[in-house]
Amino acid sequence: MSIEFEAPKPVVKMQTVLQTVAENMMRSVSREFDENEHTIPWDYIEFMHTAMRSMGGGSLAPQEEKPKEDAEKRPPIGYQMLAAQIEMLSWGDVGMYLVTPGGGLGAAAVQAAGSPDQKAKFLARFADKKPTFAAMCMTEAGAGSDTSAIRTRAVLDEKTKEWVINGEKIFVTAGDKSFTEYEKSGKGFIVVWASIDPSAGRAGMRAFVIESGTPGVQVTKLEHKMGIRVSDTASISLVDVRVPFENLLGSPTVEKTTKGFKGAMATFDATRPLVAASGIGVARAALEFVKEKLKENGVQIRYGLPRSKLTSVERDVIDMEIMLRSAWLMVLKAVWMADNKKPNALESSMSKVKAGDVTTKITQKVVEILGPLGYSREFLAEKWFRDAKITDIYEGTGQINRLVVARQILGYSGAELR
Amino acid sequence: MYSFEPNEEQQMLIDAVGKYAENDLRAAAHDAEENREIPKKLISKGWELGLLQASTPESYGGFGERSAVTGALAVEEMAFGDLAGALAVMTPSLFATPILLGGSEEQKQQYLPDIVGGDWAPYTAALIEYAIDFDPTALKTTAKADGDSYILNGEKAFVPFAKDAEAMIVYADLNGVTQGFIVPKNAGGLSVSDEREKLMGLNALPMYRVKLDNVTVPAINRLGGASGHDFDLILSSMRIASAAAAVGLAKASLEYSKDYAKEREVFGVKIAQKQAIAFMLAEMATEIEAIRLLTWEAAWKLDANKEDACAEAYLAFTGACDMAMMVTDRGVQVLGGHGYIREHPVELFMRNGRGFPMLLGLAIV
């Protein structure tokens, strides 16, 4: 090992390809889909699906490493690749990135908590002919950051060996596309978090795969949002939903441990830096845009000068570059750790804290610097401002991630630092 | 490939320097600041760690290759102990490293074996000027070519160990470009103030004003010889060193205030169990890590001769100045009233933390 910052060649190659996609398939329609909320960008979805299939997978998720005999052993870069892809697609349009077909968070949960059989059964579909979606249903009206307050219940019907699930889920990203079958999409699924034993608290929490079209499930609402409008955010009600026994991810028996809950949290360790990467893509788009506009208007950024000699705008731009680059490096470290199977709960949450901060700060500052041009819907800066804000909220708010970071550095349990 | 783990050799160095920083530098830091003196024995012990020796090739008396990354790792560890002590131990590098980076073959042969092979000796450099608009790329001290010589005029500030210096590199403006000149002890027209600098922090480090009144040095004393040298490279190495030192200092403040917060009770719990404190600590840790990685990347780019290395060194340094202030300020805040008392080191960390924007030129990797 050593300290190195050379991007792996396959990553660089992928970035070049995706930049073209981002420019031609995303930026060009970014405004249109923002103005027409809940319209589905099928052209982009089908293009991405075809492209990903031709590369051997149907999803952005890291492919299972197949051990190659005789092949030279290369360090794994699955998560590094994924972070770079997400950053670039989000640079194109973060809302559209969120409707990229493939497993999304639903598949990530299966990846993290499923058995080999379950992975084979549920994940194969993403390589099928039609683009397919999956979603994670965690949040409820009364349970946001405090996921242990989840009220959705799963009860085993001993006679039929089916789980019967009741509850209400909100804020399900891609929930509609994952559950509702469209002519152009394949059969997806949602992963629903529910308690199999409320008296056990977090230890009783389990995730269930529910196939699209299952009776009792209803998409009741699509949210109208500040940003990422092209991405559907669904409310889903579950009334006596019957799910096969083997659709439970992990162990069906409740021990007095929080293993089940930790499964969910392990998913977050893997996905937080990816959400951070997505925010950073938006921030980079905004920063590049403001630099371009400043240049057009004859404003030079004089790098190398001491602080006291810089103009206010120069300071802002330089500060934004520091924020953006350092946040990206934190993402890289967190995903590098994930690739190398190093525990990364701390680095993962730190990267999310930092990215949440810098993406909101950068996009807000860019709108400010651009003045009327920034506030106008003629340009995308105001859209990036709206899109960026979600980075500091979903996948654990900035505050929840600070709590995780604090517990990690202090060596405190959840009980010691609430 | 990306990789974020020091190699084995670097890890050994980190461990050795870390041990010295904690057991020796930190233990002596309070008294050194109060007495305005770092014990000579302490400096010698730090010198024996061999940081400069390990980054000097064998042909010049050392046993390794210079690496900005390794340098940054070492400086961070060293500064974790005590900033003034760290700068004192590394002062000879201010003279030797620019020669390594930009010196002519003759200059390397003439100076490096003696410095690297000997005991710690006061070789130093003079970059900073006492002016509100101090800018290392637009110095007020001037160098003028005069036949086979250069004539230096101006005034330098914050020059460590200038009083006893065997020789120093003086940076001056030569036709609009910053260049270094080797000025020997007792050069005519060179005068060092009797009084030491009196500063908000870093009082253990003896620093002086240096006046240059028509100091004439032979042309071969220009760093790099007749064709000079690339000052950007030296400046970037200084910026990376400063950034790394800021990371080490900030880490010291975080570690101390974190330990304190886990001991101190309030309303029946430790203060660290209160989110108001815990979130401050989490943000300190996050900002430190952000600048550490930026510094590493800049150092790696410098080692790898990447085109944008100097630009990134500037960003890392600029970010480090803000980070050090933010973190060390909070370190004091976590301790509350006790943080303001000089018995605890956090107020010294904070006083030292504000120094980075002007202390460019006191460390180099």
Sole residue written with tokens 């949602």? A190
A57 — pLDDT class (breaks 50, 70, 90): low
pLDDT more than 90, % of chain B: 99
Antiparallel, parallel or unpaired: β A189-195 and A134-137: parallel
- CATH code 2.40.110.10 for A132-257: yes
Report residue A386 as tokens. Answer: 């709206």
Rounded to a whole number of angstroms, the distance from the CA of A184 to the nearest CA of chain B is 39
Q: Do B275 and A325 touch (CB under 8 A)?
A: no
The continuous run of DSSP H or E covering A290 comes out as: helix A259-296
Residue of B nearest to A12 (CA): B1
pLDDT more than 70, % of chain B: 100
**Across chain B, what does the average pLDDT equal?**
97
Report residue B214 as tokens. Answer: 């028509």
DSSP A68: P
How many Cβ atoms sit within 10 Å of the Cβ of residue A307?
Answer: 12
A395 belongs to the catalytic site: yes
Tens of pLDDT, residues A332-383: 999 999 999 999 999 999 999 999 999 999 999 999 999 999 999 999 999 9
Identify the pLDDT of residue B137.
96
Min mean pLDDT across A302-311, B36-45, B71-80, B169-178 is at A302-311
- Alpha-carbon distance of A293 to A363, in angstroms, equals 14
Min mean pLDDT across A262-266, A300-304, A374-378 is at A262-266
Min mean pLDDT across A278-282, A295-299, A305-309, B120-124 is at A305-309
Q: Do A1 and B296 touch (CB under 8 A)?
A: no
Q: Which CATH superfamily is domain B8-120 in?
A: Acyl-CoA dehydrogenase/oxidase, N-terminal domain (1.10.540.10)
A63 pLDDT exceeds 60? no
Best of B289, B300, B302, B358 to disrupt the A interface (most A CBs within 10 Å) is B289
Class level of CATH domain A261-410: mainly alpha
Residues of chain B with CATH 1.10.540.10: 8-120
Q: Do B2 and A322 touch (CB under 8 A)?
A: no
The CA-based dihedral angle spanning residues B276, B278, B279, B280, taken in that order and rounded to the nearest 10 degrees: 90
Among candidates A75, A333, A354 on the partner chain, residue whose Cβ is nearest the Cβ of B1: A75
Calculate ∠ Cα A164-A165-A166, nearest 5°: 130
- Alpha-carbon distance of B26 to B17, in angstroms, equals 12
- Alpha-carbon distance of B322 to B91, in angstroms, equals 24
Which residue(s) pair with B150 in the sheet? Answer: B145, B217
Q: Which CATH superfamily is domain B231-353 in?
A: Butyryl-CoA Dehydrogenase, subunit A, domain 3 (1.20.140.10)
DSSP A64: P
Q: Do B296 and A5 touch (CB under 8 A)?
A: yes
Q: Is the reported ipTM for this assembly greater than 0.85?
A: yes
Q: Do A2 and B5 touch (CB under 8 A)?
A: yes
Q: Which CATH superfamily is domain B124-227 in?
A: Butyryl-CoA Dehydrogenase, subunit A, domain 2 (2.40.110.10)
From chain B, the residues in CB contact with A362 under 8 A are none
Identify the pLDDT of residue A72.
59
What number is the average pLDDT over the span A160-169? 97
A30 pLDDT exceeds 90? yes
Report residue B115 as tokens. Answer: 């410095």
How many Cβ atoms sit within 10 Å of the Cβ of residue B151?
Answer: 18
Identify the pLDDT of residue A58.
65
Q: Do B293 and A333 touch (CB under 8 A)?
A: yes
Q: Which of A143, A149, A146, A196 lies closest to A171 in space, CA to CA?
A: A143
Identify the pLDDT of residue A3.
97
A67 — pLDDT class (breaks 50, 70, 90): low
Tens of pLDDT, residues B101-111: 999 999 999 99
Min mean pLDDT across A95-99, A250-254, B11-15, B310-314 is at A250-254
User: Which of A71 and B238 is assigned the larger pLDDT?
Assistant: B238
Instruction: Report yes or no: B308 at the A interface, CB cutoff 8 Å.
Output: no
Q: Which of A166, A174, A176 lies closest to A220 in space, CA to CA?
A: A176
Side-chain half-sphere exposure of B355, counting CA atoms within 13 A: 27
Among candidates B137, B291, B311 on the partner chain, residue whose Cβ is nearest the Cβ of A326: B291
Residues of chain B with CATH 2.40.110.10: 124-227
A201 — pLDDT class (breaks 50, 70, 90): confident
- Give me the residues of B, 118-137, that contact A with CB < 8 A: 132-135, 137
Residue of A nearest to B269 (CA): A416
Report residue B48 as tokens. Answer: 């024996």
Q: Do A308 and B132 touch (CB under 8 A)?
A: yes
Domain spans of chain A?
A: 9-65+73-109, 132-257, 261-410
Which residues, including other chains, have CB under 8 Å from residue A382's CB and lie 6 or more apart?
Answer: A367, A374, A375, A376
The continuous run of DSSP H or E covering B345 comes out as: none
Residues of chain B with CATH 1.20.140.10: 231-353
Is residue B38 within 8 Å of B204, Cβ to Cβ?
A: yes
- Alpha-carbon distance of A33 to A380, in angstroms, equals 12
Q: Please give the single-letter amino acid code of residue A12.
A: V
- Alpha-carbon distance of B225 to B230, in angstroms, equals 12
Among candidates A7, A77, A350 on the partner chain, residue whose Cβ is nearest the Cβ of B285: A350
